[in-house]
Amino acid sequence: MKTNNRGKNKATEILEEIGFDDVTELSNQELVNGFGIIFISEPLDNADGKIIRGRTNTIIKVNSSIPYPEKIRFVIAHELGHYFLHEKMEIHSDNVKTLNWFKIENQAKRGLQEFEANDFASELLMPEKSFKEFITGKFFSPSLIKEISNRFGTSLTSVIYRLISLDINPLLVVFITDGIVRYWRKSADLKGWVKDVTKLPPPNDSVAKEYIDANYDFIYTGNEKAQEISRSTWFKLYDNQKDNVFWEYCIPTKQYKTIISVIWED
């Protein structure tokens, strides 16, 4: 899918207009109401977020049943992206399919608009300058993802995508749903050729495969979240290339049968 920088550029423009380096200190209500939009938190059927644009007022709704405040925050920012970028969008609902960074590239009809809204949300919640300043000098690990999530108040998934889209750490990120690899993205600084894994089950010796076999239950916690694997698990080896130590960290979602797998070199 062809992408652009409209979302990022608009979020940067908005931050400059309101005079904030980032919006971390603003509550959800303040963030939405500050733009003259009505904010409602209530149970929603088959939706995580919704925007309703009327002649005089706009309403943003978020599903109060979402258990994670960081996800709620990202949903709100995504709907704000639609508000600022897609004026012709009068009524629109978002769910796991449209909010997921790793699915929208396969959507022909609404993919670009959802990418732009996600890109807007990413820059609004994690402005590039503040984001880079916060992680400077810190080594990558699962605890760093959580630390960033806590600092900026946004979801783990959005943090992972932010890290790889800004090419800050040498990472391979793989999105798996229903036991099949649907999408992967590699940082330019992570050298090597990824195996042909798209539309196939993850490798048998991968941590992702362990989570599938465990029916997407959490099987590793604490310091064990990062599991040691070999380069050859996900990468091709060439001409006596050393099969060095890599690490794999997975975030499974049992409800949707998805896994986000992050792979990096020791």
Instruction: Check pLDDT > 70 for residue 2.
Output: no
pTM over 0.75: yes
**Do the domain assignments include residue 141?**
no
**Would 108 be classed as within a structural domain?**
yes
Residue 64 buriedness (CB in 10 A; 0-12 / 13-18 / 19+): exposed
Predicted confidence band at 103 (pLDDT cuts at 50, 70, 90)? low
pLDDT value at residue 212: 97
Average pLDDT over residues 114-128: 94
Whether the per-residue pLDDT at 235 is higher than 50: the answer is yes
- CB 236, CB 188: distance < 8 Å: no
Please state the rounded mean pLDDT for residues 180-204: 94
Alpha-helical segments (H) within the chain: 6-18, 28-33, 69-85, 96-99, 111-125, 128-135, 142-152, 156-165, 207-213, 231-234
Specify if 84 maps to a domain: yes
pLDDT score for 167: 87
Q: Structural domain of residue 96, as residue ranges?
A: 6-127
Report pLDDT digits (tens) over 148-163: 999 999 999 999 989 9
8 Å CB contact between 69 and 91:
no
pLDDT digits (tens, 9 = 90+) for 199-219: 999 999 999 999 999 999 999
198 pLDDT band (50/70/90 cuts)? Answer: very high
Q: Examine residue 44 and state whether it is found in any structural domain, yes or no.
A: yes
Work out the pLDDT band at 108, boundaries 50, 70, 90.
Answer: very low
Position 256 scores a pLDDT of 85
pLDDT at residue 240 in the model: 85
Indicate whether 36 and 121 sit together in one domain: yes
Beta strands 180-186 and 172-177, pairing class: antiparallel
pLDDT at 101: 63
**Which CATH number belongs to the domain containing residue 185 in this structure?**
3.30.450
Residue 232 lies in a domain: yes
Retrieve residue 244's tokens. Answer: 């060095």
Average pLDDT over residues 17-27: 95
CATH number for the domain harbouring residue 105: 1.10.10.2910
Can you tell me the mean pLDDT for 25-53?
Answer: 96
Taking the C-alpha atoms of 151, 155, 160 and 164 in order, what is their torsion angle to the nearest 10 degrees? -80
In 3D space, the residue among 192, 214, 228, 223 whose CA is nearest the CA of residue 259 turns out to be: 214
